[in-house]
């Protein structure tokens, strides 16, 4: 399991580095930060205005994980590139789907 994922009883916390205006909506894989932390690198076409990029991030992840958008919540990083998301789903299922997506 990647350090970007924290598996809890009924949900997963996922650390993401979001690139708005990324040209396409895509999950680019896991990457290490300079501070030694790890995050999932994601890009979206949406602009970083009025929460549009955050909404696009949640929509992209919900589609990839096969869950409803309302099961993904932004915990921190509303206006920053680094974000922490709470994903209400079976942690093992999320881990499995991420492995399929990023290899």
Place of tokens 């894989």: 29
Summarised one tens digit per residue, pLDDT across range 6-60 is 888 889 999 999 999 999 999 999 999 888 889 999 999 999 999 999 999 999 9
User: What CATH homologous superfamily does 5-102 map to?
Assistant: YggU-like (3.30.1200.10)
- Kindly report the number of other CB atoms within 10 A of residue 96's CB atom: 12
Q: Looking at the chain, list the stretches that DSSP marks H as alpha helix, in order from N- to C-terminal side.
A: 52-65, 91-102
| Predicted structure pTM score | 0.92
- The two tokens of residue 5 are 């994922």
Task: Please choose, from the candidates 26, 30, 28, the residue with its C-alpha nearest in 3D space to the C-alpha of residue 15.
Answer: 30
């Amino acid at each position: 399991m990647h350090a970007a994922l924290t598996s809890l009883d009924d949900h997963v916390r996922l650390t993401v580095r979001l690139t708005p205006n990324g040209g396409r909506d895509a999950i680019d894989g896991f990457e290490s930060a300079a501070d030694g932390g790890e995050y999932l690198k994601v890009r979206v076409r949406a602009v970083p205005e009025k929460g549009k990029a955050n909404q696009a991030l949640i929509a992209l992840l919900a589609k990839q994980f096969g869950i409803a958008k309302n099961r993904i919540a932004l915990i921190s990083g509303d206006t920053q590139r680094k974000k922490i998301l709470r994903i209400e789903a079976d942690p093992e299922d999320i881990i499995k789907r991420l492995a399929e997506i990023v290899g």
